[in-house]
Chain A
Amino acid sequence: MDLIESYKEELQLIRKPWTRIYVAAFVIFLLLLPWVAPEHITYIITIIFIYTIGVQGQNLLIGYTGQISFGQAGFLAIGAFTFGHLSQLGVPWPIGILVAGLMAGLFGILVGFPSLRLKGPYLAIATMGFGIAVYQVFVNSELLSGGRMGLIISKLSPPFGLEDVTFNYYFNFLIALIFTLLSYNIVSSYMGRAFIAIRDNDIAAEVIGVNLTRYKLLSFAISSFYTGVQGALYGLYLGYLEPNMFTFMEAITLFVAVIIGGLASVEGSIMGAAFVILVPQIFSDYREMVPVVFGTAILLILIFEPMGLNGRWFKMRLYFRNWPFR
C-alpha cells in the first residue's frame, strides 16, 4: 500500500526510518516483558506467539492465494500428533517439529489437489470435510490419539536455570520471529506474487505464465506446514494432546483471526492471533459470549473495514503522517 519506487525498495523488510524505530521498540518490549509482567500474562503471550505461526500460514492461503480453507484444525491435529508420537519415540524436538510440519504439508498437498478443480464455496466445503474427517479419525482411533488419557509429551527442560514460563516464552518468540521473517520473504518473492496473481484471477495468472498446479499446491503445502508447526509447538507447550483440542471450532478460530487481523498482511495475522487469544481471556467469566464477540467482529469488520485491524492501523498511520492534511 506504500508507494514503492524501486525493486530494491520492494525487497526491503522495513522501508521508513520511523517504522524501524517502532518495530525495534516493539521487539525490545517483547524481549523485556517476561521480566516485568506477571506469569499468566507471559503465558498468554506465549500462546499468542504459537498462534501467530498458524494464522500467518492460514493468511498465506486465504489472504494471498485466495483459497479458502476450513480444514486447518485437521492440519493442526496432524502436526501435533505427529510431533507427540515422535517425541514419545525419543526423537529430538527440532526434528520432531520439522517432521510434524512436513507431515502436515504433505497432507496439505493432498487436500490441495481438489483446489485445482474447485473454487470458493466448494473448496470451503471440501476442506471442511477434511478437517472433520481428521478429527473423527483421531477420536475413533485410540492408537493415533493415545487413548482416553490423551498423549503425554515431555516438556523441554529450561537451560541456564531459567524459569519454565520464561524459557517457553523466549523459545516460542524465537520460532514465531523466524516464521514471521519467512512469511515476509515468501510474500515479497516471486512465489508471493504468483500467489497474489492466482487470488486476483487464476485463469489470467495461468495465461501470464504462473504454473497454477505448482503454486496452488505450494500454497496449501506452505500453509499447512505453518499450521503443523503450530500444532507441534502447542503440544510441546501444553505437554499433552487430545483430539478434542482440534474441533471444527479451532479451524474457525484461525479463520476468524485472519479475517479480523486483515487479509493479505503479515502484521494483520499477528494482530488477529492476539485478538482471538485475548478475547476469550477477557470474557473468561462469560465463555458463551466469546463466539458472539467473534461473530460481531466479523460482521463489523467485513462491512466497515474489509482490510481488518491492519487496515485500520494503516489508516491511522497515514493520518498522522499526512497531518495536518487529510
Chain B
Amino acid sequence: MSQFAQYLVSGLSTGSIYALVALGLALVYRSTRVLNFAHGDVATAGTFFAFILLGLKLPFVLSFALALVFGAGLAMAFYFAVLIPAQRREATQLSQIILTLGLGLILQGLVSYFGGTEPQAFPFPLSDTKVYTFGGVIISQLSLGTIGIGLLTSVLLYLLVQKTRIGLAMRGTSENLPAAQTLGIPTRQILALSWGLASLLGVLAGLFLAPALLLDPFFMMEPFLKGFAAAILGGLNSLPGAIVGGLIIGVSESLAGGYISMAFKNTLAFLIIIVVLLVRPEGLLGKEFKERV
C-alpha cells in the first residue's frame, strides 16, 4: 500500500510538470486555434537563459524571474513578428502550426549552438536528495516544491482567467474573435498576452524539471510531448482539463513504470493520445466541436 502511495506521489510530481506544459498549450490553442509546437523549445531556451544568468552569479529569484520574462517575451515577439504578418497574408491554421514548428527548430538549433549539447547539472534552491517522510511515503524537497508550484500556478491562473477584467477579455477573445473586436477588446494585445503567459508557464515547468534531470537542449522534448498528451486528454480548449490530464498522465505513467515495466512507461502517453482521439476526440472536459462546409 505504501508503495502504491509512493508511486502516486512521484506521479503527482511529474504530473504537475505535465500540467504546467499542458496549460500553456491549451491557453494558446483556445485563444488562437494554433497548436504551439515551439512550446518545448521556448521552455528550453528560457531554462538555458536562467542557467546562463546563474552562471553569472545572479541570485536564484532574480534569474528565474528574468528567465520567465525572457520566455514570455520570446513568444510575444514571435506572435507580433511572425504570426501577425502571416495572418495578414491569410495563412491557414495549418501553416500557422507549421510556423511554430519553424520557431521550434530555430530555437533548438540556437540553444544547441550557444548552450552546448553536453548535459549539465542545473543548480536549484530546492534539493533533490533532501527528503521528508510522511507516514511511510518518502518525498523529496524538489517534488514537494514542484507539486506546490503546480497548485499555486493553477490557482493564480484560475483567478486571472475567471476573476479579472483581463481574464474576461481573454475568455471573450477565445469565444468569438470578431465579436470581441466589435466590443472594443484589444484582441491583438490579449492574444499576445496569452502567448506570453503560455510560454511563461512552459519556462516555469522547465525550471522545475531541469534540476531533476540534467540540462541539455532536448530535455524538454519528452515532457512537451507528454504535455501534449495531457492537453488532448483533458480537451485542448479546456484549462481545467489540461491540469486534470497532466495529473492523470503523470500518475498512470508512474504506476505503469512501477507495476508493468519501465520500457512501457514512455509509450503509454502516446497510446493514451491515440485512444482518446479515437474514442472521444474532444477530450475529457472539452466541448464537442461541430463543423460546417
- Which A residues are closer than 8 A to B by beta carbons? 66, 68, 113-114, 117-122, 124-126, 128-130, 132-133, 136-137, 140, 201, 203-204, 207, 248, 252, 255-256, 259, 286, 288-299, 302-303, 306
Contacts and interface: CB of A to CB of B under 8 A. Distances in A.
A193 B137 CA distance: 62
A27 B17 CA distance: 54
A124 B93 CA distance: 12
B35 A124 contact: yes
B105 A294 contact: yes
Nearest to A294: B105
Contacts of B277: 114, 117-118, 122, 125-126
Contacts of B278: 113-114, 117
B117 A288 contact: yes
B185 to A, nearest CB: 25
B102 A299 contact: yes
Nearest to B89: A303
Given A289-B109, A292-B109, A298-B105, A203 B98 contact: no
B3 interface: no
- The B interface, classified by DSSP as helix, strand, loop or mixed, is helix
Contact of B291 (A66, A126, A203): A203
A114 B97 CA distance: 20
B80 interface: no
B111 to A, nearest CB: 9
Task: Name the 3 nearest CB pairs between A and B, nearest first.
Answer: A295-B105, A298-B102, A295-B106
Contacts of B98: 255, 259, 298, 302
Given A128-B228, A294-B102, A298-B99, 12 more contacts: A66-B94, A117-B281, A122-B236, A129-B273, A255-B98, A289-B109, A293-B109, A295-B102, A295-B105, A298-B101, A303-B82, A303-B85
B251 interface: no
Contacts of A252: 101, 105
B77 interface: no
Contacts of A128: 225, 228
Given A140-B263, A303-B85, A129 B113 contact: no
A302 B291 CA distance: 26
B82 A299 contact: yes
Contacts of A295: 101-109
Contacts of B291: 119, 203
B293 A204 contact: yes
Given A299-B103, A302-B102, A120 B94 contact: yes
B35 A125 contact: yes
Given A125-B35, A129-B274, A291 B109 contact: yes
